[in-house]
Amino acid sequence: QALEDQYSPSHWSPRLGRDTIIQAHIATMAAATQRAQASVQTALHIPYGYGDREKLDIYFPPDPSETFPVLVYIHGGYWQCLSKEESGFAAPPLVSQGVGVVAVGYDIAPKGHMDAMVLQVRRSIAFLVERYSRIRGVYLCGHSAGAHLAAMVLSTDWTEYGVVPDIKGAVLVSGVYDLEPILHTYVNDELNMTREVAQRNSPVWCIAPAASVAVACEVLVAVAQHDSPEFHRQSQEYGQALRAAGWSVSMLDLSGVDHFDIIEKLSEESYVLTQVEGELPSSL
């Protein structure tokens, strides 16, 4: 039961009850995404594959005829809920600074299994940079399960994809980087991972040496004050493992937020993570 609680983010929020916070989170993200789509130039449901969820939503900066950096957002939901439909919430403040935002869809459990999800997200990045030649620099952002998938993108052998995306930075928010503990919780009821699947899809165990990365990539590993001790441990150990492999890593423990509003606040221009993401393209 103790492990179940550690991997139940709703158990740790001081704001709302366990039964209400997840629904409130989904509603908040969906409403912010609707506002973004009403105010920003978009191209929605762009297929990068043949599956129903293998689609991208793209939020363009004011002058997309120029070259522009993109922030690729990979949604959370413990690999079994949420979608790209709630993932455009961060677009307005970034688009106003000339950064395009791309929300990635992928097959969630039980239809999707872990190997397939990792493959889909990697293919979406390859498709994006091949399809849009004006992109100059890719920045990844993932929350929770999405942080796990973004971290797996960092370990990709791109020779298999025929393209090497210019990934310049990653913002990993309240993620899970070692999937083995998940095997022993309710989360795996839908995922049905074996130990072998968990091990080969655990970012902490498949970190590429920084020297093998074509360009310098800045990684920010962020965690919420009101995330569980296990989420804090996972973030700390993954950040340390990246550093040991030669990556440039910053760690950020954000006070006053929980597992959910740590990412919801990306719709606010004054929020520290929003400012970090806006500064990444100009600082690298």
Q: Compute, in degrees rounded to 10, the torsion defined by CA atoms 197, 200, 77, 128.
A: -120
| Amino acid occupying residue 280 | L
Burial class (CB in 10 A: 0-12, 13-18, 19+), 32: buried
Exactly one of 87, 124, 144, 267 is catalytic; which is it? 144
Confirm whether 25 is a catalytic residue: no
Spatial distance between the Cα atoms of 116 and 97, rounded to a whole number of angstroms: 34
Who's near 152: CB < 8 A, 6+ residues apart?
Answer: 118, 121, 122, 201, 203, 206
Q: Which of 95, 145, 140 is nearest to 117 (CA)?
A: 145
Exactly one of 25, 259, 261, 267 is catalytic; which is it? 259
Confirm whether 148 is a catalytic residue: no
Confirm whether 144 is a catalytic residue: yes
Exactly one of 227, 228, 235, 261 is catalytic; which is it? 227
Spatial distance between the Cα atoms of 239 and 242, rounded to a whole number of angstroms: 5
Q: 236 φ, ψ to 5°?
A: -60, -45
Active site residues: 144, 227, 259
